[in-house]
Amino acid sequence: MKVLDSLSRWMGYVSSAIIIILMLLVTADVCGRYFLNSPITGASELARFMMIIIVFPALAWAALAGKHIKVDILVERFPRRVQAIVSRIMLLAALGIYGIITWRSALYSMEVDNITSMLRLPQSIFYWIMTVGFAVFCLSIIALVIKSIAGVVKR
Partner 1 sequence: MSPETIGAIGLAVLIILLFAGMWIGAAMALIGFVGYVLIMGLEPAFSVVSMIPFTTMSTYMMTTIPLYVFMGVILFQSGVGADLYETAYTWVGQLRGGLASATVIACALFAAITGVSSPALVTMGKVALPAMRKYHYDDNLALGSIACAGGLAFLIPPSVVLIIYGVLTQTSISKLYMAGFIPGVLLAGLFIGVIMLITLRRPTAGPAGPKTSLKSKIISLKLTWPTVLLFLVVLGGIYLGVFTPTEGGAVGAFGALVITAAMRRLSFRKFLDSLLESTQTTALVMLLIIGAYILMKFLAVSQLTTLMSTFISDLAVPNMVIFAGIVILYIILGMFLDIISAVILTIPVIFPMVMALGFDPIWYGVMVVILVEMGLVTPPVGMDAFMLSGAISIPVSKIFKSVIPFLAAEVVCIILLAAFPQIALWLPGTM
**Nearest distance from residue 147's CB to partner 1, in Å?**
16
36 binds partner 1 (CB under 8 A): no
Binding status of residue 101 toward partner 1 by CB under 8 A: yes
34 Cβ partners below 8 Å, 6+ apart?
A: none
Q: Which of residues 120-149 bind partner 1 (CB under 8 A)?
A: 126-127, 130, 134
Nearest distance from C-beta of residue 66 to partner 1, angstroms: 10
Residue 141: partners with Cβ closer than 8 Å, 6 or more residues away = 63, 91, 94, 95, 98
Strands of 41-153 (E only): list them. none
Among 107, 146, 149, 152, binds partner 1 (CB under 8 A): 107
User: Which of 15, 139 has the CB closer to partner 1?
Assistant: 15
The partner residues of 115 in beta bridges, in order of sequence, read 122
Contact between 81 and partner 1 per CB under 8 A: no
Amino acid present at 113: D
The residues binding partner 1 (CB under 8 A) are 12-13, 15-16, 19-20, 22-27, 29-30, 34, 44, 47-52, 54-56, 58-59, 61-62, 65, 67-75, 86-87, 89-90, 93-94, 96-98, 100-101, 104-105, 107-108, 126-127, 130, 134
